[in-house]
Amino acid sequence: MGEPVWSAPSYEAILADSKLLMDATLAMERQVQDGSAWLVQEADGRTVVLAPPAEPLTTEELDGVYKLAFTRRAHPSYREPVPAVEMIQFSITTHRGCASGCSFCSLAAHQGRRIRSRSSASIVAEARGMASQKDWRGSISDVGGPTANMWGARCEGDPSACKRVSCLFPKVCPQFHTEQTALTGLLHAVERVPGVKHLRTASGVRHDLAMVEPQYVRSLVGEFVGGQLKLAPEHCSPRVLRLMRKPGFESFEQFLTVFERESRRAGKQQYVVPYLMSAFPGCTDGDMRTLSEWLRSKRWRPQQVQCFIPTPGTVATAMYCARIDPEGNSIPVACTDAERIRQHGILMGRGRSEPRGSGKGRPRRRG
């Protein structure tokens, strides 16, 4: 083959010892990051071969994709309206890839950690095309990508030599360069397209990364948040956040302070809607109570809440199945329906709750 060949524990070995699933998952994660290695696994007398991931598309290639004549409509096979279409029909994807490396997310597995961005001209041209659609009403619902404020981001070091699993965890890497101020200029350019009345960045902002460029935060909050901004702190427990590969909760609280200040400066009443998760591997009932108490202290009712669901290929799923962290240390895991429902109920402020859905109502603030 020429390139390095790595071996993962066999299927049969994993069945016999679930802890080996962690080794296999970490090997797959390293293969995606390395970009050149082949990964092999024995299974029932056969060999499964995972080829190195394809090279990410260049800016020119991405621009070419978005020149194609997409209809922005659901497939004709659908006979009933598709609720998601209304949300995404007039939204713009600015880039592919995510450098965050969150342990519960498979984005890097299929889009890679290296960011590949479209050109400003391509994005503005898409907005012009939207304005010519017969059902266009003047609003672009969202402009972003897997992480909205990673458009134009790049590693200024040697990506092939990097051993980090995340460019942002435990802290933002000094070699990870962002273009968030330039992103503000891009949003203004899209906003000036004839026929565009409203433009929003509604979700996907990485708050710790945003704080690196205060001018971006000021523009985002003052000009491009349409009342609500969805952020993903996920939890407040330092231990659980470490297992998630998410930033410390203090960074979320710092962003909230800036968000409130900039909203007042802009004369707007706006809200942050936090994405939260219950029953994550390593999370205890006590951790859920701590998070629930923090929400009560803010007089917030949970609105975007997920009970952890194991998904193939993620480190978090390996933690769930093997009951260990990536270093091999034992962790508590809410596995039974009763344990998961109890944790979700604690977060929702009730004795019991189905592990799905969200609370009703908008987050409420003091004053």
- 364: domain CATH number is 3.30.750.200
Q: pLDDT value at position 254? A: 97
pLDDT score recorded for residue 362: 39
CATH number of the domain to which 130 belongs: 3.30.750.210
Residue 11 lies in a domain: yes
- Rg (C-alpha) for the chain, rounded Å, is 22
Residues 172 and 275 in one domain: no
Positions of the chain with pLDDT lower than 50, given as ranges: 351-367
The predicted structure's pLDDT at residue 304: 80
Number of domains into which the chain is organized: 3
Domain membership flag for residue 214: no
In sequence order, which residues have a C-beta less than 8 Å from that of residue 280 and are 6 or more positions away?
A: 104, 234, 235, 240, 243, 244, 308, 316
Question: Do 32 and 91 belong to one domain?
Answer: no
Confirm whether 312 is domain-assigned.
yes
Q: Is residue 213 part of a domain?
A: no
The verdict on residue 195 lying in a domain is: yes
Last residue of a domain, one of 186, 202, 218: 202
Do 50 and 73 lie in one domain? The reply is no
71 and 49 in one domain?
Answer: no
Q: Verify that 16 and 125 share a domain, yes or no.
A: no
The reply to whether 183 and 136 lie within a common domain is yes
* Full domain range(s) for residue 104: 57-202
Question: Does the residue 238 lie in any domain?
Answer: yes
- Same structural domain for residues 361 and 308? yes
* Residue 242 and residue 359 in one domain: yes
The reply to whether 65 and 47 lie within a common domain is no
- The pLDDT assigned to 212 comes to 94
Looking at residue 361, what is its pLDDT?
A: 36
Residues 61 and 43 in one domain: no
246 falls within a domain: yes
Is 217 part of a structural domain of the chain?
Answer: no
Of the residues 37, 54, 71, the one at which a domain ends: 54
Distance of CA 358 to the CA centre of its chain: 18
Task: Give me the chain's average pLDDT, please.
Answer: 91
- The pTM of the full predicted model, rounded to 2 decimals, is 0.90
Half-sphere exposure of 295 (CA within 13 A, CB side): 29
Judgement on whether residues 176 and 67 belong to the same structural domain of the protein:
yes
Judgement on whether residues 81 and 198 belong to the same structural domain of the protein = yes
